[in-house]
Amino acid sequence: MPDQLGAKLRRLRQNKGVSLRTVESETGISNAYLSQLERGVATNPNPIKLRKLAEYFNAPYLDLLAHAGYLPSGARENYQGLIANSVGSSRKESQLSSSIVDLTNDEENLVLQYIEFLKSRRN
């Protein structure tokens, strides 16, 4: 069951202050179908339509996919796990991805500097 995709889409549209017909003219998706999506009557949109909406609302596409139930909930760990599995990263790189999730800003700065230092001494 999609996790409130409709509510999310209506919020995005209302925050932008536009009508169903405006979204229709900008995305090519009919106002009737947009209404059905927002009201939860239609729940299984083609991802291509979600992408158009994400672009129009300047909203994160993976977030809309997750709300539609096509991806796990939008926690970084979940996506990192999917990526690690998809593009064949090493186990250690998965660890790295997981480790950076909860760094503070200062820690992020330090790690970035350290990585740049490591790369700078490659030659």
Partner DNA sequence: AATATATGCATGATATGTCAAGCAAAGGCA
Partner DNA sequence: TGCCTTTGCTTGACATATCATGCATATATT
Decide if residue 4 touches its own copies (CB under 8 A): no
Decide if residue 36 touches its own copies (CB under 8 A): no
Q: What residue has token string 């009919």?
A: 30
Nearest-angstrom CA–CA distance, 3 and 73: 9
Q: What residue has token string 């991805």?
A: 97
Amino acid identity of residue 56, one-letter, is: Y
Cβ closest to its own copies, residue 1 vs residue 17: 1
Interacting span for its own copies (CB under 8 A) from 10-18, 19-27, 28-36, 78-86:
78-86
Residues from 37 through 96 that contact DNA (CB under 7 A): 38-39, 41-46, 49
Rounded to 5°, the CA angle 104-81-100 comes to 15
Distance of CA 88 to the CA centre of its chain: 21
Binding mask 4-43 for DNA (x = CB under 7 A): ---------------xxxx-----xxxxxx-xx-xx-xxx
3-state secondary structure at position 104: coil
Decide if residue 27 touches its own copies (CB under 8 A): no
Binding site for DNA (CB under 7 A): 19-22, 28-33, 35-36, 38-39, 41-46, 49
